[in-house]
Amino acid sequence: MTTVSTHPPPPPPPPSNNTTTTASDVNQPPPPPLAIQSLQISEISFTGQTGGVPESALDDVGYPFQTPEDPSALFEKIGQVGEGTYGKVYKARNGKTGKLMALKRIRMKTEKDGFPITAMREIKLLQKLKHERIVQLQEIMVAKGSVYMVLEYMDHDLSGILGHPNFNFEPAHAKSLVKQMLEGLAYLHHMGILHRDIKGSNLLINNKGELKIADFGLARVFEKNRAHDYTNRVITLWYRPPELLLGATAYGPAVDIWSVGCIMLEFFTGKAAFSGVDEITQLDSIYKIMGTPSVENWPTVKELPWYAMVRPNENYVSKFKESYASLLSAGALELLEALLSMDPLKRPSAAEALNFDYFKTELPEAVMPANLLDIAGDWHEFESKQRKRQKGSNSSNTNNNKSKQETRPKAAPSLPSSSRP
């Protein structure tokens, strides 16, 4: 391993932008293949309106299908709203209830080890979670070659909304969304679960302005008050806290809190808080605003595996207050500074954060952004990107400098099916 002062140990090649796997993950014995049957989910039968669908159609949710328990529950595909790590996410209508649902397809064909462990983890966790700030899993359906998670439908995700050409949140709305994020996290952390991929496209919002946390593919149960040995290759790069970038494998809920801080700052500035292209430039981008960590402001930083190897040549002092004081209220500044503490032990828990003056005493009070009803169409990251592509040739004529112009890290980090989190 090269010990160049400004570079971390070379990580294994990322499977996609910003996503990698630790050696310790890879060295774990692979879990036994998981049979779909162990999920205790019922096989669905396919019945096209004319008495059956061709084999080739089984991959396509566009064909009506039904569960044995509820034969009249046919889903009509309306359109694709997401391109996830496992497969596509569709907007669909339940023919019986008329309710809109999201169908998240788990692609099975490429899996050598059986049912993908990340999907298994997500399903098991979602089955346990019942909270108004967590997306609700309604049922699981199995079709040839694919499993579908049937989820309550949410009109937008935060990344899509932030990419809207002329929609902006009022301060009271931004406050509500940060509050709702923290409420969801307070519940998750209370349940002993780390999300490990909090970012805009995983924060779903409906037209009533309700926010729900989604995508539990990287989430895991953590043991409170115990040393942990988890992978540090989680959380999409721009939302990844410094302790993970410095190689920490013992960590807790504070990793999700950092991500909330990044998103909150993005509400006010309209662009990603820290936007590196790899671990080193990400750390650099954090240091330039928050200051270089030292034993004075982060007593245990020296113990982190990569600290000595990635020490920057220059020492920066924090520019956080001077950079944002004119943009943020005193309460917002105080909360953000706490959420973005370099030392994870100094970050408040989600429950503590909800008691900050920003929420308790400072005006305006949080108001759910029900004005989302006024925006035409559904705004998820997927459609947002598509609209941008469609506009592509014209966009050089428009003068738009919002965050949507940035090249966001594409994928949520993904663990290989044989890894332990």
CB of 70 to ligand ADP, least distance (A): 19
List 123, 126, 141, 204, residue binding ligand ADP (CB under 6 A): 204
CB of 217 to ligand ADP, least distance (A): 4
Which residues are known catalytic residues?
Answer: 197
Find the part of the chain contacting ligand ADP (CB under 6 A) among 34-42, 146-154, 222-230, 279-287: 146-154
Find the part of the chain contacting ligand ADP (CB under 6 A) among 2-10, 153-161, 168-176, 361-369: 153-161
Q: Rounded to an integer, what distance in angstroms lies between the CA atom of residue 174 and that of residue 160? A: 15
Q: Rounded to an integer, what distance in angstroms lies between the CA atom of residue 165 and that of residue 357? A: 32
User: Using an 8 Å Cβ cutoff, are 52 and 62 in contact?
Assistant: no
Question: Does the protein bind ligand ADP through residue 265 (CB under 6 A)?
Answer: no
Residue placing its CB nearer to ligand ADP in the complex, 219 or 328: 219
Q: Which class for 400: exposed (0-12), middle (13-18), buried (19 or more C-beta within 10 A)?
A: exposed
Q: Is the peptide bond before 15 cis (omega within 30 degrees of 0)?
A: no
List 75, 148, 153, 324, residue binding ligand ADP (CB under 6 A): 153
Residue placing its CB nearer to ligand ADP in the complex, 222 or 382: 382
Q: Rounded to an integer, what distance in angstroms lies between the CA atom of residue 217 and that of residue 125? A: 9
List 102, 120, 265, 335, residue binding ligand ADP (CB under 6 A): 102
Residues in a beta bridge with 357: none
Question: Does the protein bind ligand ADP through residue 412 (CB under 6 A)?
Answer: yes
Find the part of the chain contacting ligand ADP (CB under 6 A) among 16-24, 41-49, 179-187, 375-383: 375-383
Asked whether the CA dihedral 290, 296, 300, 303 is positive or negative, the reply is positive
CB of 260 to ligand ADP, least distance (A): 17
Residues in region 25-84 near ligand ADP by CB under 6 A: 81-82, 84
Token pair, residue 263, equals 């998103």
Q: Rounded to an integer, what distance in angstroms lies between the CA atom of residue 187 and that of residue 189? A: 6
User: Using an 8 Å Cβ cutoff, are 162 and 146 in contact?
Assistant: no
Residue placing its CB nearer to ligand ADP in the complex, 102 or 354: 102
List 183, 210, 215, 243, residue binding ligand ADP (CB under 6 A): 215
Q: Rounded to an integer, what distance in angstroms lies between the CA atom of residue 382 and that of residue 384? A: 5
Q: What is the dihedral of CA 126, 408, 377, 130, to 10 degrees?
A: 10
Find the part of the chain contacting ligand ADP (CB under 6 A) among 22-30, 212-220, 242-250, 251-259: 212-220
Q: Tell me the H-state helices in 236-374.
A: 242-245, 254-269, 279-290, 320-324, 330-339, 350-353, 357-360
Residues in region 295-334 near ligand ADP by CB under 6 A: none
User: Using an 8 Å Cβ cutoff, are 231 and 204 in contact?
Assistant: no
Q: What is the largest CA-CA distance in the chain?
A: 72
List 22, 202, 232, 236, residue binding ligand ADP (CB under 6 A): 202
CB of 178 to ligand ADP, least distance (A): 19
Residues that bind ligand ADP (rule: CB under 6 A) add up to a total of: 24
List 121, 133, 164, 380, residue binding ligand ADP (CB under 6 A): 380
Beta pairing, strands 193-194 & 220-221:
antiparallel
Q: What is the binding site for ligand ADP (CB under 6 A)?
A: 81-82, 84-86, 89, 102, 104, 135, 151-154, 157, 201-202, 204, 214-215, 217, 380-382, 412
